[in-house]
Structure 1
Amino acid sequence: MDHLTIFKALANETRLQILQWLKEPEQNFPSGSLSDEHDFKDGICVGKIQEKAGMSQSTTSQYLSLLQRSGLLEARRIGQWTYYRRNEEAIRRLAEYIGKEL
């Protein structure tokens, strides 16, 4: 886990908001999250995230890509769409690191 990359990803208000929204996908993206049948429960389509963030598709994709590279998000392509969800294990490890080291 590269902590510097994670902190850079979190240093942007919109990227932080995206993580917060994905914490409760059913509440923040009504009828927009994947069910268990897709084996990627709570995954949200890029288009839904873009719509909520009010940003261009390219900026949204750039932000999601950075969050994924940092390890805070997981992505899965299903058909023609890419879905994102939080990587709860990575977030838990980050919280542990902050609690112990900072």
Structure 2
Amino acid sequence: MDAEADLLAILKALASDKRLQVLAWLKDPRAHFPPQRDGDLVSDGVCGLLIAQKLGLSQPTVHGHMKLLVQAGLVRETRIRQWTFYRRDEGALAAATARLAECL
């Protein structure tokens, strides 16, 4: 992906109140999600099922939202058994913030 496409992917990922809410929750997952049976909330991420429940949306809808965040590089996904866990990529978020500030 070239620089312009990267920036467009970031802007598209941030253009949803639901995705912005998920990013805020993932900043401090222990404060926003209950303990999980599989995977650590911080090191492995939050199970997509918990995110769907908290948003009040279906799993397929949440998967679509998370896919955009992953494609933009703002969130990392980890598979554990049949579940997908999501965590923020702080380095990528800092780079995206700097890039947006540079453009604006």
Q: TM-score range by the shorter chain?
A: 0.7 to 0.9
C-alpha separation between the residues in 2 aligned to 1:42 and 1:27?
16
Unaligned runs of 5+ in 2: none
> Cα RMSD over matched residues?
1.9
8 Å CA contact 1:25–1:42 kept in 2: the answer is no
Of structures 1 and 2, the one with the larger relative CO (CA 8 A, separation 6+) is 2
Would you say 1:87 and 2:92 are equivalent positions? Answer: no
Counterpart for residue 67 of structure 2: 65
C-alpha separation between the residues in 1 aligned to 2:54 and 2:77?
18
Would you say 1:43 and 2:45 are equivalent positions? Answer: yes
From 4, 7, 11, the counterpart of 1:7:
11
SS state at 1:49 partner: helix
C-alpha separation between the residues in 2 aligned to 1:97 and 1:70?
13
Would you say 1:25 and 2:40 are equivalent positions? Answer: no
Q: Could you list the per-position Cα deviations for residues 12-50 of structure 1 after superposition, in whole angstroms to 9, with x for gaps in the alignment?
A: 1101111111011000113148439xxx70500010000
Unaligned runs of 5+ in 1: none
Give the TM-score of the pair, scaled to structure 1.
Answer: 0.87
C-alpha separation between the residues in 1 aligned to 2:63 and 2:40?
23
Q: How many residues align?
A: 99
